[in-house]
Amino acid sequence: MAKSLLKAQNLYHIYRAKQDQASVVALKGVGFEISQREFVAIVGPSGSGKSTLLRVLGGLMRPTAGSVIFNEEFDITKTSEEDLTFFRRHEVGFVFQEGNLLPDLSAYDNVVQSMTLAEVPYEFRKKRALELLDTMGVLPRKNQLATRLSGGERQRVAIARAMANNPRIIIADEPTGNVDFKTSVRLLELFKQLNRDTGMAFLFATHSNHVAGYANRSIELRDGLFLGQHGKDIDLSSLDLSRMVIMDSDNRITLPENIMGQLKEVGSLWNISVVESKKILLTPLEAIAEEQVPIQDSFEQRECPVCGIMNPPEGKFCISCGAKF
């Protein structure tokens, strides 16, 4: 199994009340893990806690409670300011909705600047900045001020800047939030290609299920809680008890995948009862399931699966084409 890159456990975050505002509990016990080289989305409506979670995972903010273990080694929520700054400069690259560029600098200088902060030697900075701008398809725009770039170009430069110090993970908060649909598809394709080519993990937040669909795995956040996971790269053991079951507008509930896995085969019957007014108890109804009569025998006649002619129920061969049942 791939090595764990970031593992968050039981994260809570409370924004304390200021003056007459109420305190907000933005994260209510979130557990989350991303492995090296993974491509993961966090999806949820506005206010669900996506930005808070990304800020905590990227070491931009300490959570009120809980831990975030980086590289199976150290807890970024408990480390010194100095180590945290090193972590942010070298291990993570950030991309925000607005393309976090410095407005008074050119595209090129924006990329160089993040390497200057990380004390990369001058000659190396120049070469790497030009290479990255080229990979992102914005080399011809290198001397433009950030404010003169289009939305899509700004995000490409922001990605180049985020990648400059070769981080282990790019954390992007609504990176396609301010660009049109076509540009957002191109940016997502670029993310995917960079993830494949460089092995950097990508974690991005979006309110759009469509955008989240580009990830190999997406985590759904609702109201500060981890609601479920979608996608092909889901490790069932990572699903924990922190998820909720929510009733939709048609009074239906979708059970988490690990519970579905334990409910045996399709068509098995369960009795649902509510206990202690909070828990749902599922009891197997084996007896009823066994009494169920196969659909085929309940008809007087049987349809031949080969030619479609109706046959008498007792026959072993089709009366029309001779196919064997």
* Chain residues that interact with ligand ADP, rule: CB under 6 A: 15, 24, 26, 44, 46-52
Q: Candidates 9, 35, 48, 51: give the one binding Mg ion (CB under 5 A).
A: 51
- Residue 49 interacts, among ligand ADP, Mg ion, none and using kind-specific CB cut-offs from 5 to 8 Å, with ligand ADP
Residues 69 and 75 sit within 8 Å (Cβ to Cβ): yes
Q: How far is the CB of 269 from Mg ion (least distance, A)?
A: 43
**CA angle, 53 then 169 then 92, to 5°:** 75
Dihedral over alpha carbons 159, 164, 166, 171 (to 10 degrees): -30
- Cβ closest to Mg ion, residue 13 vs residue 50: 50
Task: For the CB of residue 218, give the shortest distance to Mg ion in the complex, in Å.
Answer: 16
Q: Point out which span in 18-26, 51-59, 194-202, 301-309 binds Mg ion (CB under 5 A).
A: 51-59
Q: Distance between the two ends of the chain, CA-based, in angstroms?
A: 47
What span, in angstroms and rounded, lies between the C-alpha atoms of 176 and 193? 16
| Residue closer to ligand ADP (CB basis): 49 or 66 | 49
Residue 35 makes contact with Mg ion by CB under 5 A: no
**Quick check: 89 and 118 in contact, CB under 8 A?**
yes
Looking up tokens 């990648």, which residue turns up?
163
- Pick from 156, 126, 128, 131: which is nearest to 144 by CA? 156
Name the residue nearer to Mg ion (CB basis): 120 or 221.
221
Residues 98-126 as b or e (16 or more Cβ within 10 Å = b)? ebbbeeebbbbbbbbbbbeebebeeeebe
Residue 113's nearest CA partner among 68, 158, 153 is 158
CB of 44 to ligand ADP, least distance (A): 5
Write down the least CB distance from residue 185 to ligand ADP, Å. Answer: 22
Q: Of the two residues 24 and 65, which places its CB atom closer to ligand ADP in the complex? A: 24
CB of 68 to Mg ion, least distance (A): 18
Task: Return the one option of Mg ion, ligand ADP, none that residue 24 interacts with (CB less than 5 to 8 A, by type).
Answer: ligand ADP
- Picked from ligand ADP, Mg ion, none, the partner binding residue 47 (CB below 5 to 8 A depending on kind) is ligand ADP
Question: Is residue 48 a contact residue for Mg ion (CB under 5 A)?
Answer: no
